[in-house]
Copies of this chain bind each other. A is one copy, B any other.
Amino acid sequence: MKQKNIRIKDIATMAGVSEGTVDRVLHKRGKVSRAATEKVNRVLAQIDYTPNLIARTLGANRTYRLVAVIPDPSLDEYWKQSFDGIKEAEADLAQFGITINVDHLYYNPHKRESFQEVTIKAFQSKPDGILAAPLFYHASISFFRVLSESKIPYILFNTNIEESNTLSFIGQDSFLSGRLAAELVSIGQTNESHYGILHIYEDLNDSVYLKEKEQGFKNYFAIHRPETSRNIHVFNLPDPGRQEFPEAMNQVLSLPHLNGLFVSTSKAYVVAHELHKRNLSVRLVGYDLLDQNINYLKTGYIHFLIHQNPRRQAKTGIRSLANYILLGKKPPRKSLFPLEIISRYNIDSYLN
């Protein structure tokens, strides 16, 4: 009835070779004659062999070191959530001899040099795998080229670099995300409305995904509300910590018939703050469940947040990497997360 799992020993018997040879074929360790390789492969093709991970880790008695390259979690609550996801995954995987270095590899999300430094450090530590959130497009390219050359497997999350040779990208479809934002910001509004896209404190030159969101946003209007298409205004705003910021916001908010604002990053709360100060009512759509965003969502200054679930993205990333290293399982090239709509009506169910 319940046939026992096939063991390497069984394969060896069936193929008429020794366990060692089967192991060598399975792991492509070389030093096997063509004849023996074929004998083993023939058996392998007929059966459905699943290695016993438990026995493997116990037998190998070795540890793997992964490395995660993300922005400093202490600088940004969003990255704190990614960090938490990494830690969760680490706890699950510890029993398989997997450790994760992340602590000394934080970078400043606004300093390209910082990212570059860290990527070099990460590479030089010769890890068994890398998970990275590569915010800087150009600096990433060379990093990933080096990794590919050194055969170090790596997975990206949050930000995709199409040109990279990554095992997998985990994140959302930025174009669709922008389209959804457009729909949320304009639903129920008249075609005379004007809308603003706000990129806050980001180097657009490096942030491909912000441009994609912008395109998705515009595309929605081009298709569904062509008359309104000309009423879309794009603003690149400075660091909200700087003095120029409120003045820049004044410009934005002085637009006539401004009925909606889309903040392309998780900084919607700074805009909500400005609306609050001025006692203005403008539909506001942004990203992510940061404490401040949640507060403004509950008080009605932010209407919708699109949840990117950084925690789960990071966790999935580490898991995929571990699955690949431990079991050789290739993850899907792209794992696109759902665009979760958060409003004041369902936010509570998302908070533990």
A interface residues (Cβ-Cβ under 8 A, vs B): 50, 52-55, 57-58, 94-96, 172-173, 176, 179-180, 183-184, 188, 336-343, 345-346, 348-350
Per the bound structure, the CA–CA distance linking A173 and B52 in Å amounts to 39
Decide if A345 touches B180 in the complex (CB within 8 Å): yes
Sample of 26 A–B contacts (CB below 8 Å): A50-B94, A52-B58, A54-B54, A54-B58, A54-B96, A55-B58, A173-B349, A176-B348, A179-B345, A180-B345, A180-B346, A180-B349, A183-B345, A184-B345, A188-B188, A336-B349, A337-B349, A338-B346, A338-B350, A339-B349, A340-B340, A340-B341, A340-B346, A341-B341, A341-B345, A341-B346
Chain B residue numbers with a CB within 8 Å of A54 are: 54, 57-58, 95-96
18 additional A-B pairs beyond A58-B58, A173-B349, A338-B349, beta carbons within 8 Å, are A50-B94, A52-B95, A54-B57, A54-B58, A54-B96, A55-B58, A179-B345, A180-B345, A180-B346, A183-B345, A184-B345, A188-B188, A336-B349, A337-B349, A338-B350, A339-B346, A340-B341, A341-B342
When all copies of this chain in the complex are counted, the total is 2
| Residue in B closest to A336 when the chains form the complex, CB atoms | B349
In whole angstroms, what is the CA distance A343 to B184 when docked?
Answer: 10
Assembly CA distance A299 to B154 (angstroms): 41
Q: Which chain B positions have C-beta within 8 A of A188?
A: 188
Q: Give Cα distance in the complex from A338 to B342, angstroms.
A: 10
- Contact residue among B50, B95, B176, B184 (Cβ-Cβ distance under 8 Å from A95): B50
Question: Which of B57, B172, B183, B343 interacts with A341 by CB under 8 Å?
Answer: B343
> Which residues of chain B are within 8 angstroms of A350 by Cβ–Cβ distance?
338
